C-alpha cells in the first residue's frame, strides 16, 4: 500500500534518482491542501450509511428482480452481503482519498473482486450501477452540495474554498472500481 509520499519514493528509486523539485512541489501541495482533504474524507465517512443505503436501494428500485427468488439480493443474507460490499467499497475509496493514491483500493479491495463476483453470480453491471450512485453522492457531499450536508459544518457554515479537485479525485477512485468490475 502506497501513499503520495511512498509513491514518490518508489518512483524515484525505480529510476535511481533523488526526489526532484517537481515531486517536492506536488507533495507540498498535498500538505498545504491537507485540511481540505481531511474534510473531504470526513464528509464521506460521516455520511457513509446514507451513501451506501441510497445507492443500493436505488439499484433495487430499478431492478426489482434482485430481491425476488433467484435474484442476487435474495434472501436477506445476500441483501446484507450486498450492503456490506457497498460499505467495503466506500471505505476503500475513502482510504485512497486520504492517501492520495489508489493502491490501497487496488490491492486490498479490487484485486480478485471481479473473479469472486463471477463465481458467486453477483451481477457486475448492477454493482457498477450502485457504485455510480455512490460516486455522485460522495461528490455532492465533498462539495457540500448534498441536501443536509451542511450539518457537517459548525454553526451552519458553508464549506470554504474549492473542493472540486478532491471531488474529481474521489470520482476517479469510484471509476476505478467500475473498471475493475467490467
Ligand atoms: C476486503 C474486501 C472484500 C470485498 C470487496 C469482499 C467482497 C465479497 N462479496 C461477497 C459476496 C456477495 N456480494 C454481494 C453483492 C451484491 N449482490 C448484488 O446483487 C448487488 C449487485 C451487489 C451489492 C451492490 C452478494 C449478494 C454476495 C453474496 C453472494 C452469495 O453468497 O451468493 C463475497 C463472498 C463471501 C461473502 O459472502 O462474504 C466477498 C469476498 N469481501 C472482502 O473481504
Ligand 1 nearest atom to the CA of residue 79, by list position: 26
Q: Is residue 27 within 6 Å of ligand 1 at its C-beta?
A: no
Measuring from atom 33 of ligand 1, which residue has the nearest CA?
A: 116
SS3 per-residue string spanning the chain: CCCHHHHHHHHHHHCCCCCCHHHHHHHHHHHHCHHHHHHHHHHHHCCHHHHHHHHHHHHHHCCHHHHCCCCCCCCHHHHHHHHHHHHHHHHHHHHHHHHCCCHHHHHHHHCCHHHHHHHHCCCHHHHHHHHHHHHHHHHHHHCCCCCCHHHHCHHHCCCCCCCHHHHHHHHHHHHHHHHHCC
* 182 residues of the chain, pLDDT tens digit each: 999 999 999 999 999 999 999 999 999 999 999 999 999 999 999 999 999 999 999 999 999 999 999 999 999 999 999 999 999 999 999 999 999 999 999 999 999 999 999 999 999 999 999 999 999 999 999 999 987 654 455 544 455 678 999 999 999 999 999 999 99
CA of 35 from ligand 1 middle (Å) equals 34
Q: Which of 64, 72, 81, 92 to mutate to test the pocket of ligand 1 (most atoms within 8 A of CB)?
A: 81
Q: Is residue 57 within 6 Å of ligand 1 at its C-beta?
A: no
Q: Is residue 128 within 6 Å of ligand 1 at its C-beta?
A: no
Query: What would the pLDDT profile of 116-133 be if each residue is shown by its tens digit?
Result: 999 999 999 999 999 999
CA of 122 from ligand 1 middle (Å) equals 7
Residue 42: per-residue pLDDT = 96
Q: Is residue 55 within 6 Å of ligand 1 at its C-beta?
A: no
Measuring from atom 37 of ligand 1, which residue has the nearest CA?
A: 81
Residue 156: per-residue pLDDT = 47
Amino acid at each position: 500500500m502506497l501513499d503520495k509520499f511512498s509513491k514518490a519514493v518508489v518512483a524515484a528509486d525505480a529510476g535511481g534518482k533523488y526526489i526532484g523539485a517537481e515531486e517536492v512541489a506536488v507533495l507540498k501541495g498535498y500538505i498545504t491542501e491537507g485540511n481540505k482533504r481531511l474534510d473531504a474524507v470526513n464528509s464521506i465517512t460521516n455520511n457513509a450509511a446514507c451513501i451506501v443505503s441510497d445507492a443500493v436501494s436505488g439499484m433495487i428500485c430499478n431492478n426489482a428482480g434482485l430481491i425476488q427468488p433467484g435474484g442476487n439480493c435474495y434472501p436477506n443474507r445476500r441483501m446484507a452481503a450486498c450492503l456490506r460490499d457497498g460499505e467495503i467499497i466506500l471505505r476503500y475509496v475513502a482510504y485512497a482519498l486520504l492517501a492520495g493514491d489508489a493502491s490501497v483500493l487496488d490491492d486490498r479491495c479490487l484485486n480478485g473482486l471481479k473473479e469472486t463476483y463471477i463465481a458467486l453470480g453477483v451481477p457486475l453491471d448492477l454493482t457498477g450501477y450502485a457504485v455510480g450512485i455512490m460516486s455522485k453522492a460522495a461528490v455532492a457531499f465533498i462539495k457540500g452540495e448534498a441536501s443536509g450536508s451542511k450539518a457537517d459544518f459548525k454553526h451552519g457554515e458553508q464549506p470554504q474554498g474549492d473542493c472540486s479537485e478532491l471531488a474529481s479525485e474521489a470520482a476517479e477512485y469510484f471509476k476505478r472500481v467500475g473498471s475493475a468490475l467490467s
